[in-house]
Structure formats: C-alpha cells, structure tokens
Homo-oligomer: A and B are copies of this chain.
Amino acid sequence: MFKLNENYLKLPGSYLFSTIGKKVNAYSAAHPDKKIIRLGIGDVTQPLAPAIIEALHSAVDEMGHAETFHGYAPDLGYEFLRDAIAENDYRARGCDISPDEIFVSDGAKCDSSNIQEIFGLDNRIAVCDPVYPVYVDSNVMAGRTGTYDKNTETWSDVIYMPCTAANGFAPELPKETPDLIYLCFPNNPTGATVTKAQLQEWVDYANRVGAVIIYDAAYEAYISDADVPHSIYECQGAQTCAIELRSFSKNAGFTGVRLGFTVIPKELKCGDVMLHSLWARRHGTKYNGAPYIVQRAGEAVYSEAGKEQLKQQVAYYMKNASYIYNGLKEAGFTVSGGVNAPYIWLKTPGNMTSWEFFDTLLENVNVVGTPGSGFGPSGEGYFRLTAFGSYENTVEAVDRIKTLKL
C-alpha cells in the first residue's frame, strides 16, 4: 500500500495567499456590490511595457515558421538572456558573475522552493521572521523542520531570526549556527533593507561557519539608497557562500509571464563538489526551460527602451508606496518600509491581531492586505500593504483606511 509524504500533513494551514484568496472570494460572493481594493498579494497591475510586448510579438512570429521555430531550450536558458543578465545585473555593478553561473527559470517562487532540494535533510535552516512563507513551507515539505508548536507557531528545527521594530527589521546573527540562511532584501514583507556593510557581515559569517546564504533579491529594482546592495555579490567573498535568486515579476511586471533566475557561483563548493553541478543536474532532469518567447521578453527588459520604460513603471509603484506610507503615517499609524521596497509594513492599531485587522479592513472598508502573522510569529501585530495597485485604487484605499474608527 502506498504511503504519503507525511511532512505535507504537518503544514498547519493552506499556503498564505491561497487562504487570503479564499477569504476575499467568499466576502466578494456575499457582497457582490462592494468594490474591493486588493493590496494583499504582491501582484502587479500595470501592463507589460511596450518594449516587452514588441519582443513577445516578434518571438511569437518566429515560432510560426519552421526556419525560426524554437523547441526545447538549452538547460540553463538561452545565451542571449544569460549574457544580458550577466552584463546588466552583475558586471555593471562590479560583480564577477559569468553567464554560465546563471540558471534561467520560470520564477523565483519555484527556485526558492526547489533550491533546498540540493541540500541534505540534515541541514539546519535559519529564516528571517517574518518572511516570505515559501522558504519555511518548502523545507517543511522536505522534512527538514522538525515538529510544529501551535502555541508559538514555530518549527522545532528552524532557527528564527526576529526582525522587529527594535532591530529596524534587520536580523542579527543567530546564536545557534545554521547551515542554510535565507535572507530576503529588500525584505518581503517588511520592506526593510540592509546596507552593504551589514550584508558583508552576513557573508563573512557564512564563510566562517560554513553556511550557505540563499539570497532572495526579487525586489532589488526598488532600491533607491546608494548604500543598499542590489546583489549579494557586491560583497567580498559572497562567491564562496551565496546563492542569489532573482525575479522578473516585480521589476518588469512578469507575475503572469513567469521568468526568474538563480545564480550559483562555481566557487561555491562542499568539498570538491560544486553546488552549481547539483543544480545543473536538477535543471536538466526536473525542468525543461522557460518558454522561448518569455526568454525573449526577458531580454527586452535589458534593452535601452525596456530599461527606460521599466524605470517609469517602478517609479509609478513607488509613488503608490509613498502615498500609502505618508497617508497612513498622517493618520497615526506606525509604518515602515516603502522607501527601497514596494511594501509598507504597519503596526496594527490597538491590540488587534494581524488577522483581526485583515477582517476589519476587508469588512469595513473593503481593502485587502496581508496579515503579518502569515509571514512568521514576529509578524503578529503587523500588516503588509503593497504598492502594486493602480494609483487611483491606492489613493482610494488609503482614504478609506483613514475613515476607520479604531
């Protein structure tokens, strides 16, 4: 008789954003007349930039003719895209990353959940608390997290690194030594960042204790401060301890297009074995490449026209971020984030829990956000709003929130 992967049954609830989706759909079905504004899930709303649309059309045309048709993509991704990434995201910032250290994928969610697979089950993971739930959930599914404590909402074998108001939402080096350290900056959900000097401490620490940093830089396009690094490879020695995850979802609006990449430097080794080889084996065996047309769209992100158009798109969302940040601050909320990141992190008013505030917003002003507790126990009492709505909706949402009698 077949047996289930019992680790799946340990997961305490649905995936966070599935739960939110169901709650919102239920409310919407019961109140079809209400106009709900969604600033919950980090989904973008602006259309793809013209340079990207043009690249997509052109690639679609290629697929319609035998001479220019493209079948299976190369395992690691097309060279034209990996060259553009290496040049623009790395060489231009002084990072020594070569195209063949870049693995093109269908997005950072898959990569961030699959990357744990090349490590043994006996590795101890450390995560920021709060953080994007996929890191912990994917390790739960693999059986790396021990037992779940309902009261503390923590896993026995996970090292939580609290990111709180007290430390400016930037984690301190953990007391217990981890093997794998998940870092995400600009942070989802808090919008907090670390400076290059702070990140250098993490790199030095990882090299010292023999840990691997899995660095999720999905939001790097939103960085405006000069001392905040866009890539972990801006730090000395990161090549021997860090994997970097990148996404096209937020810098280019690809949430529904699906494209991302992972960087594994060849210097990152366990004994003689390159992690690069293991991930290459996984890519070759369990993945079949991102669509040709999507990789061409990714290339257009780095064209002159694409860069200019996307700079404006990022600015559009950051105008929203500013509006939310300032509006809620004026209304008396305690807010952070929103400067180098498209997320605003606010303290729930009074003694409300995150989910109580979620329900209050949804029911009273029809605004959807994300409960901070969904990102980890230290997120309790906080709430995330995203800047990815339209400007009009963002303004209306903030104005509605201001009317709340709390």
Contact = CB atoms under 8 A, between A and B. Distances in A.
Interface of A: 1-6, 8-9, 11, 14-15, 17-18, 41, 43-48, 50, 53, 56-57, 60-61, 63-66, 69-73, 75, 106-107, 109-110, 113-114, 117-123, 133-134, 137-138, 141, 179-180, 209-212, 253, 255-258, 270, 273, 275, 278, 281-282, 284-294, 390
A133 B122 CA distance: 28
A289 B107 CA distance: 10
Contacts of A45: 66, 69, 71
Contact of A2 (B11, B113, B180): B180
Nearest to A119: B5
Top 7 A-B residue pairs of the complex, sorted by shortest distance between their CB atoms: A1-B210, A3-B120, A113-B286, A15-B284, A43-B71, A2-B179, A71-B255
Q: List the number of copies, as a whole number.
A: 2
Given A120-B4, A257-B291, A270-B4, A72 B43 contact: yes
B288 A66 contact: no
16 contacts: A1-B211, A3-B270, A17-B284, A18-B75, A43-B71, A45-B69, A46-B69, A47-B64, A48-B63, A53-B61, A56-B60, A106-B106, A113-B285, A256-B292, A257-B292, A293-B293
Given A63-B256, A258-B291, A47 B71 contact: no
A373 B113 CA distance: 33
Contacts of A123: 2-3
B63 A257 contact: yes
A43 to B, nearest CB: 4
Nearest to A50: B64
A2 B290 CA distance: 30
Given A75-B18, A123-B2, A286-B114, A66 B44 contact: no
